[in-house]
Amino acid sequence: MIQKPRMKRFAPILAIPVVAGLAALSWSFYASGGDPGNNVYLGYVEGDLLFIGPNEGERLDKLAVEVGKIVAPGDALFSMATPLLDGQRAEAAGRLEQMTAQFENLKASLNRPEQIAVLRAAVDRAQAALVLSSNELQRKTTLFAHGDATKAALDQASMAHDRDKASLEEAKRQVEAARLAGRSHEIGAAEAAILQARAQLSQIDIRIARQSVTAPAAGVIQDVYFRPGEMVNAGQPVLSLLPPENRKVRFYVPEPQLAAFKLGERVKVACDGCADGLWGRISFMAAREEFTPPVIFSDQERNKLVFKLEAKLEQDARNLPLGLPVSIRLWQKNGGGGE
Give the pLDDT of residue 333. 58
**Average pLDDT over all residues of the chain:** 80
Instruction: Look at residue 80 and tell me if it is in a domain.
Output: no
Assess whether 108 and 161 both reside in one domain.
Answer: yes
pLDDT at 315 exceeding the cut of 80: yes
Q: Which residues contact 97 (CB under 8 A, 6 or more apart)?
A: none
Q: How many domains does the chain have?
A: 2
Q: Are residues 168 and 90 in the same domain?
A: yes
211 domain-assigned: no
Q: Looking at 149, 177, 206, which one is the last position of a domain?
A: 206
Residue 9 has pLDDT above 50, yes or no: no
| pLDDT classification of 39: cutoffs 50, 70, 90 | confident
The predicted pLDDT at position 111 comes to: 53
Same domain, 94 and 180: yes
Strands 70-71 and 266-270, sheet pairing: unpaired
pLDDT of 33 reads 34
Greatest mean pLDDT range, 13-22, 93-102, 115-124, 281-290: 93-102
Q: Which residues contact 53 (CB under 8 A, 6 or more apart)?
A: 1, 3, 213, 232, 233, 234, 235, 236, 237, 238
**Residues 252 and 199 grouped into a single domain:** no
CATH number of the domain residue 37 falls in: 2.40.30.170
The single-letter code of the amino acid at 156 is Q
Domain membership of residue 184 (yes or no) is yes
- pTM of the predicted protein model: 0.59
DSSP structure class, residue 149: S
Mean pLDDT lowest among 101-110, 130-139, 237-246, 254-263:
101-110
pLDDT at residue 50 in the model: 95
In the 8-state DSSP scheme, what is residue 333? T
Please indicate, yes or no, if residue 198 is contained in any of the structural domains. yes
Domain of residue 281: give its range.
2-52+243-330
Domain boundary among 152, 183, 206: 206
Q: Is residue 152 part of a domain?
A: yes
269 located within any domain: yes
- Shared domain check, 201 and 285: no
**41 shares its domain with 98:** no
Q: What is the CATH number of the domain that holds 133?
A: 1.20.120
* For residues 254-261, average pLDDT: 85
Q: What is the band of 106 on the pLDDT scale with cuts at 50, 70, 90?
A: confident
Residue 336 and residue 339: Cα distance in Å, rounded? 9
Residues 96 and 177 in one domain: yes
Within a domain: 194:
yes
Position 232 pLDDT exceeds 50: yes
Q: Are residues 268 and 173 in the same domain?
A: no
Tell me: pLDDT of 10 over 60.
Answer: no
- Residues 15 and 32 sit within 8 Å (Cβ to Cβ): no
pLDDT of residue 297 exceeding 90: no
Q: Tens of pLDDT along 192-223?
A: 889 999 999 999 999 999 999 999 999 999 99
Confidence at residue 36, expressed as pLDDT on a 0 to 100 scale: 53
98 & 46 share domain: no
Last residue in a domain, options 206, 228, 261: 206
Question: Is 104 within a domain?
Answer: yes
Same domain, 314 and 262: yes
Out of 59-68, 239-248, 323-332, pick the least confident.
323-332
∠ Cα 265 307 283 (to 5°): 30
Q: Which of 164-178, 230-244, 276-290 has the highest mean pLDDT?
A: 230-244
